Amino acid sequence: MISPEDNSRWKELGRQIQIFIQWSISSAIDAAFLALWVFFQWLLDVKIIQEYKISNIDLWVLLSFQIIFAISTVIPVMIFIYTDIRIMFIRAKRRIQQEIKVGEEDRHDET
């Protein structure tokens, strides 16, 4: 027969697995967005800049727009990554505070 203490350990393990799965999926999505961004930057370089052999002022204008496009498209991705990391830290801090509270309650119950 499973004791209540063993049952709570299994529930805690299930919660931890769920958190790790969420982190993994979130990281995979963030990595996919970054990979997509890199792919578009590469595609622009290979299919436009090198294909049409742009030079002189046209090259400088295109490179300027490529830099602006790169920055404007990578910033939202970086914001999502920052948000995901920040949420992970906030949740971890909350779990630590809850564990501290449980430990203090257990200590008071023992006295």
Full DSSP string of the chain = ---HHHHHHHHHHHHHHHHHHHHHHHHHHHHHHHHHHHHHHHHHIIIIIITTT--HHHHHHHHHHHHHHHHHHHHHHHHHHHHHHHHHHHHHHHHHHHHHHHHHHHHHHH-
Give the CB-side neighbour count of residue 98, counting CA atoms within 13 A: 7
- Tell whether the model's pLDDT for residue 4 goes beyond 90: no
16-51 per-position pLDDT tens digit: 898 889 888 988 888 888 888 888 888 877 877 777
In this model, does residue 90 exceed pLDDT 70? Answer: yes
Taking only the tens place, the pLDDT of each residue in 49-88 is 777 777 788 878 888 887 888 788 788 888 888 988 898 8
The reported pLDDT for the residue numbered 5 is 67
Handedness of CA 104, 106, 108, 111 (dihedral sign): negative
Residue pointed to by tokens 């049952």: 7
Query: Between 51 and 14, where is the model more confident?
Result: 14
d(CA 8, CA 11): 5
Confidence of residue 97 (pLDDT cuts 50, 70, 90): very high
